[in-house]
Amino acid sequence: MPKISNAEIFVLGETNAEKSSPWSSTIIVLKLTTSDGVVGYGEAPTTMMTLPVYEEMREVARVFKGKEATEIEKNYMDFYKHSFYLPVSMETTSALSAFEMASWDILGKIYGMPVHKAFGGAIRDKIRAYANGWYDGCITASDFVKSAKNVVRMGFTGVKFDPFGDAYDNIDSEHIENAAHIVGALREEFPKLDLMIECHGRFNANSAMRVARAIKPFKPLFMEEPVHPDQFNGLMRFREYSRIPVALGERVLDRNLFLNYMKSNAMDVIQPDITNFGGLMQGKSVADMAYSFGIEVAYHNAFGPIQTAATLNLDYTIPNLLIQESFEAFWPEWKKKLVKSGYSLEDGYFTLSRDKPGLGIDINERILEEYKVSGMEPFNESEPAWAVGGTFKPIAKDGSKDNISHRKSR
Better pLDDT: 99 or 20: 99
- Asked if 70 and 197 sit in the same domain, the reply is no
Say how far apart CA 172 and CA 187 lie, in whole Å.
23
Structural domain harbouring 141? 117-359
Output the pLDDT for position 410: 29
- Asked if 77 and 146 sit in the same domain, the reply is no
Say how far apart CA 108 and CA 357 lie, in whole Å.
5
Nearest CA to 189 out of 254, 127, 244, 145 is that of 145
Q: Which of 113, 132, 167 is the last residue of a domain?
A: 113
Output the pLDDT for position 400: 52
Average pLDDT estimate for 106-119:
98
A 10 A CB-CB count for 336 gives 15
Average pLDDT estimate for 291-298:
98
Residue 307 near residue 313 (C-beta atoms within 8 A): no
Q: Which helix (H) or strand (E) holds 363?
A: strand 362-363
pLDDT band at 403 (very low <50, low <70, confident <90, very high): very low
**Which residues face 343 on adjacent strands?**
352
- Asked if 354 and 246 sit in the same domain, the reply is yes
Q: Is 256 part of a structural domain of the chain? A: yes
**pLDDT tens digits for range 80-106:** 999 999 999 999 999 999 999 999 999
Q: Which helix (H) or strand (E) holds 188?
A: helix 173-189
Q: How far is CA 282 from CA 18, 169, 216, in A?
A: 29, 31, 33
CATH of the domain at 70: 3.30.390.10
Percent pLDDT > 70 in the chain is: 97
Nearest CA to 206 out of 185, 176, 182 is that of 176
What is the full DSSP assignment across 26-91? EEEEEEEEETT--EEEEEE--SS-HHHHHHHHHHHHHHHTTSBTT-HHHHHHHHHHH-TTGGG-HH
Q: Is 382 part of a structural domain of the chain? A: no
Q: Is 373 part of a structural domain of the chain? A: no
- Asked if 289 and 142 sit in the same domain, the reply is yes
- Asked if 303 and 200 sit in the same domain, the reply is yes
Q: Is 180 part of a structural domain of the chain? A: yes
Q: How many CA atoms lie within 13 A of 280 on its CB side?
A: 33
Say how far apart CA 135 and CA 391 lie, in whole Å.
8
Q: What are phi and psi of 294, to 5 degrees?
A: 70, 25
What is the full DSSP assignment across 101-158? HHHHHHHHHHHTSBHHHHTT--S-S-EEEEE-STTTT--SHHHHHHHHHHHHHTT-SE
- Asked if 80 and 159 sit in the same domain, the reply is no
Please tell me the total count of domains within the chain: 2
Q: Quick check: 402 pLDDT over 90?
A: no
* DSSP character at residue 329: G
Output the pLDDT for position 150: 98
Q: Is 295 part of a structural domain of the chain? A: yes
CATH of the domain at 217: 3.20.20.120
Is this structure's pTM higher than 0.85?
yes
- Asked if 104 and 162 sit in the same domain, the reply is no
Q: How far is CA 7 from CA 101, 132, 303, 337, 360, in A?
A: 13, 32, 21, 22, 20
Low-confidence winner among 9-18, 41-50, 120-129, 392-401 (lowest mean pLDDT): 392-401
- Asked if 87 and 153 sit in the same domain, the reply is no
**pLDDT tens digits for range 145-174:** 999 999 999 999 999 999 999 999 999 999
Cite the DSSP H helix spans in 293-399. 305-315, 333-336, 365-370
Say how far apart CA 111 and CA 74 lie, in whole Å.
18
- Asked if 239 and 166 sit in the same domain, the reply is yes
Nearest CA to 224 out of 289, 158, 178 is that of 158
- Asked if 233 and 255 sit in the same domain, the reply is yes
Q: What b/e readout covers 234-251, taking b as 16+ CB neighbours within 10 angstroms?
A: bbbbbbeebebbbbbbbb
- Asked if 91 and 235 sit in the same domain, the reply is no
* DSSP character at residue 330: G
**Which sequence positions are flagged as catalytic?**
200, 300
- Asked if 250 and 149 sit in the same domain, the reply is yes
Better pLDDT: 10 or 1: 10
